[in-house]
Amino acid sequence: MTSASVPTLPGIRPLREREFADFQAFIYKEAGIFLSKVKQALLVGRLSRRIRELGLDSFAAYYERVLDPRYPEERIELINSICTHETHFFREPRQFEYLEHVVLPRLRVEAEAGTRPKRIRAWSAGCSSGEEPFSIGMSLLAGCPASAGWTVDVVATDVSTRVLDRARAAVWSLDRSKHIPGDYLKRFMLRGQGEQQDKMKAGPELRDVVRFCRNVERRPALPRSARRRAHNLFPRRALTRAPCTHSETKNSWTAACSACWSSTTRRSSARR
Ligand SMILES: C[S@@+](CC[C@H](N)C(=O)[O-])C[C@H]1O[C@@H](n2cnc3c(N)ncnc32)[C@H](O)[C@@H]1O
């Protein structure tokens, strides 16, 4: 894309190459998101409203604002504006099939044999507005129920405070329910009433097992071999070590990742 295809906006000086390079480097450093040159139009589109809101007239002036230590919240605002939050419930059906039909049965067998605790922790890294961690929560609660002695814990993180607020509320428009299997919808979701009738909310059983915190993934923490396997299974996901589980065993890693993870963990632990 040439600079000719980067939109110009009335009242804001057109984005210069140097300015784009500054934002590019800053966003990469802050959030690990690399905006290639073809993303110049996206940057312009995403930042122009904020530049106007602040009464500024150029991207350079906005960049100065972002760096200004008097406005630390502007860094978060910038990252919030840049992130893309495309998501829906059970977004990658084959991954959930794998989780439910391969990973969880294996964990149940191991637990019955006494070789692992009846505890599963999953991590949704880049959880957006919550559809992914709540989908994982539904699969885990259904496959490894508390009534059989299991404890389920889903940690959900994202760099964007805006989507985390929405995820914590756990309320979605009813049309988001179309990807949720009927039995899960009935068991785990509450339907709104009155003014809320076009909404649904995660029920208490599900809300209890999912917790959120802001976290910026800067680099993958899995060994390269595990990353490759994880990528084959979860091409659009960042699968890395959850910071709150760093001192624990491989059982603390995401359940969804455990099938591809177990053999490589053994190999890399042996090397340590
Ligand atoms: C396209 S959404 C995917 C949501 C969900 N994982 C799914 O597949 O349905 C990507 C999410 O990752 C978040 N994200 C991007 N870079 C991140 C980083 N470096 N650290 C944490 N979250 C990040 C974005 O804010 C966004 O909400």
Residues 30 and 117 in one domain: no
Contact 198, 192 (CB under 8 A): yes
- 220-244 burial, b for 16+ CB within 10 Å, e for fewer? bebeeebbebbbebbeebbbbbbeb
Average pLDDT over residues 161-177: 96
Which of 82, 105, 124 is the last residue in one of the domains?
Answer: 82
Residues 74 and 99 in one domain: no
Lowest mean pLDDT among 7-21, 31-45, 120-134, 253-267: 253-267
In a domain, 88, yes or no: no
Which atom belonging to ligand 1 lies closest to the Cα atom of 158? 22
125 CA from centroid of ligand 1 (Å): 7
d(CA 116, CA 39): 46
Instruction: Identify the H or E element spanning 172.
Output: strand 171-173
Sort 94 into a burial class: Cβ within 10 Å, 0-12 / 13-18 / 19+: exposed
Which of 52, 82, 112 is the last residue in one of the domains?
Answer: 82
85 CA from centroid of ligand 1 (Å): 6
CATH number, domain at 110? 3.40.50
Residues 41 and 159 in one domain: no
Lowest mean pLDDT among 77-86, 161-170, 199-208, 213-222: 213-222
Nearest CA to ligand 1 atom 7: 87
245 CA from centroid of ligand 1 (Å): 20
116 CA from centroid of ligand 1 (Å): 31
State residue 32's pLDDT score: 85
Contact 93, 236 (CB under 8 A): no
Among 28-37, 167-176, 210-219, top mean pLDDT goes to: 167-176
139 CA from centroid of ligand 1 (Å): 20
pTM score, whole prediction: 0.78
- Tens-digit pLDDT profile for residues 93-102: 999 999 999 9
Amino acid code (one letter) for 71: Y
Q: What is the mean pLDDT of the chain?
A: 82
Residues 229 and 267 in one domain: yes
| Res. 257: pLDDT tops 50 | no
Q: Is 156 in the pocket of ligand 1 (CB under 6 A)?
A: no
Mutate to test the pocket of ligand 1, among 33, 127, 136 (most ligand atoms within 8 A of CB): 127
Sort 211 into a burial class: Cβ within 10 Å, 0-12 / 13-18 / 19+: middle
Nearest CA to ligand 1 atom 27: 128
| Res. 189: pLDDT tops 80 | yes
Nearest CA to ligand 1 atom 8: 87
| Res. 119: pLDDT tops 90 | yes
| Res. 170: pLDDT tops 80 | yes
Q: What percent of the chain is modeled with pLDDT above 90? A: 72
In a domain, 205, yes or no: yes
Residue-range definition of the domain harbouring residue 10: 3-82
Q: Is 54 in the pocket of ligand 1 (CB under 6 A)?
A: no
CATH number, domain at 61? 1.10.155.10
| Res. 140: pLDDT tops 90 | yes
At 211 the three-state DSSP class reads strand
Which of 82, 107, 133 is the last residue in one of the domains?
Answer: 82
As given in the structure block, the two tokens for residue 56 are 């500024």
As given in the structure block, the two tokens for residue 186 are 């009935």
Q: Is 163 in the pocket of ligand 1 (CB under 6 A)?
A: yes
- When divided into structural domains, the chain yields a total of 2
State residue 216's pLDDT score: 83
- Work out the pLDDT band at 165, boundaries 50, 70, 90: very high
- Tens-digit pLDDT profile for residues 258-270: 222 222 222 333 3
